Amino acid sequence: MILVDTSGLLAALDAAQRLHREAAVSLAAASPPLLLSPFVLAELDYLLATRVGLAARMSLLGEVQRGALQLETFSATDVRAAVAIIERHADLTGSFRGWAAESPGSAGVLAILGRRVLSTW
């Protein structure tokens, strides 16, 4: 299973992004399920709506509706676990990336870190 981050999905979906090609290739190579937090969905929906357009926004929401991206829950217990991992990985630029990388059953993460695509599967 792959945990997808806003930066990785935005780069994969938006051809204007600097790392679009690399992110799109990484996303295409990912094996399902692709897990999506409600926070990532909300942020990505906003970014697509304001920077890319309605067609991209509706395409993303359609992918979630059909189950290509599996929308996950995020509880207070998950936040506690995230805080503990963030404290251990203070050098990571994304606040939940460390949590995602250490989530039980996670096979990888798709994200943009600095000037490169991080695909850890």
On average, the pLDDT of the chain sits at: 82
Q: Which of the two residues, 43 and 92, has the higher pLDDT score?
A: 43
The reported pLDDT for the residue numbered 44 is 95
Q: Tens digit of pLDDT for each residue in 103-112?
A: 555 556 666 6
List the beta bridge partners of residue 112. Answer: 117
* Long-range residue pairs from 66-69, CB within 8 A, at least 24 positions apart, any chain: 68/32, 68/34, 69/4, 69/34, 69/35, 69/36, 69/41
Region 27-45 average pLDDT? 91
Q: Tens digit of pLDDT for each residue in 48-88?
A: 999 999 999 999 999 999 999 999 988 898 888 878 877 77
- Count H helices, E strands: the chain? 6, 5
- pTM > 0.85: no
Give burial (CB, 10 Å; 0-12/13-18/19+) of 62. Answer: exposed
